[in-house]
Homo-oligomer: A and B are copies of this chain.
Amino acid sequence: MDNFNFYSPTEFVFGKGRENECGAYVKKFGGSKVLIHFGGGSVVRSGLLDRVKTSLQAEGILFEELGGVKPNPRDTLVYEGIRLCKDKGIDFILAVGGGSVIDSAKAIAVGVPYDGDFWDFYSGKAQIRAALPVATVLTIAAAGSEGSGDSVITKEDGMWKRGAGSEHMRPKFSVMNPELTCTLPAYQTACGATDIMAHVFERYFTNTTEVEITDRLCEAVLMTMVKETPRVIEDPNNYQARANIMWAGTVAHTNLVGVGRAQDWNSHGIEHELSGLYDCAHGAGLAVIMPAWMEYVMPHNPMRFAQMANRVFGVAMNYENPTDTAKKGITAFREFLRKIGMPINFAELGAKEEDIPTLVEKFGLGETGKTGGFVQLTSESVRAILENAVKASL
């Protein structure tokens, strides 16, 4: 186990009807003039936005509104949000929505106290040193952004998708009412579930040894997702399954399941190029990329994949041939994805084989560049992974 810091100071306010307590929590964490940031009309139509506003008004908290966040949230709206906050003297940002809305809110939050271009934080040019406080009312179990210090934004000019991270970006509180996720279409529910599992897998496949506690915690989240996801696909109103998934999504991404070990994140990196190019759902892109990546890197440590296969998917251990167990684990993962309605190859995602050179180039390794992680990747490896994703079948 490596040295680490673990710091997750977000207060999670979980359960039925908790959005009605928003105002009290904004007050607890010092907000007096709030920007309510949201996406499309669903939070308006569902009445959620009204309940949030009522709760803020009950505490005498002033607010402005900025909607319009799209999936793969854009830099353009972030600039608009920063201007609005500066003009109106906003001191607290409340994101009402899913990962895209929260990521956009975090970008606005770091942009307000910064004199330069907020994109500097995402392009790696500058380090985040301050932010307005952010809080969330979560409506989709997926990104884990409600409990993380990370944010991913897409630059509209060129569709560059890049991430930033900082302690300052961690939400002060996150309201999580599983009821709010019951109206999600099955496809989005499944995309979210895939993203949650990917957040765990990115941490699970590591070269750090002797990390039993985090291995077991990873497996706990994965087993929960394997059990509960098909239940909500079958019955969208299953509150209990929704609740288990929603909390699993947070546990998957506060970094509790990843401390003390090297992590990978190459699947996320490659997928960002896919959703950047095709504007597809992040989870759907991960469903295609993650198993393709697994196939490519598995020979590096078949026993780790056999452990996953056995402990998470219940594949019987083949002691004479652990690689066989490992392969069956990857197949079990793809079968699970198919069962919940996810694409498993380029064609099903709507991606094109002829774009592979573009995707490899955008990932930006150059001819000799290598990424870190479980297995270091060259441009050639990324190409091979994408080719796995083209030909994947069941």
Contact = CB atoms under 8 A, between A and B. Distances in A.
B256 A256 contact: yes
B6 A12 contact: yes
Contact of A3 (B1, B2, B14, B214): B14
Contacts of A8: 8-9
Q: How often does this chain occur in the complex, in copies?
A: 2
Nearest to A311: B223
Contact of A213 (B10, B212, B214, B244): B244
Contact of A217 (B2, B3, B14, B220): B220
Interface string A194-224: 0000000000000001111110110111011
A392 B4 CA distance: 42
B217 A213 contact: no
Given A8-B8, A220-B220, A256-B256, A247 B15 contact: no
Nearest to A7: B11
A233 interface: no
Contacts of A212: 223-224, 227-228, 244
Interface in A1-37: 1-18
A250 to B, nearest CB: 9
A232 to B, nearest CB: 12
Top 5 A-B residue pairs of the complex, sorted by shortest distance between their CB atoms: A3-B15, A216-B220, A210-B240, A9-B9, A7-B11
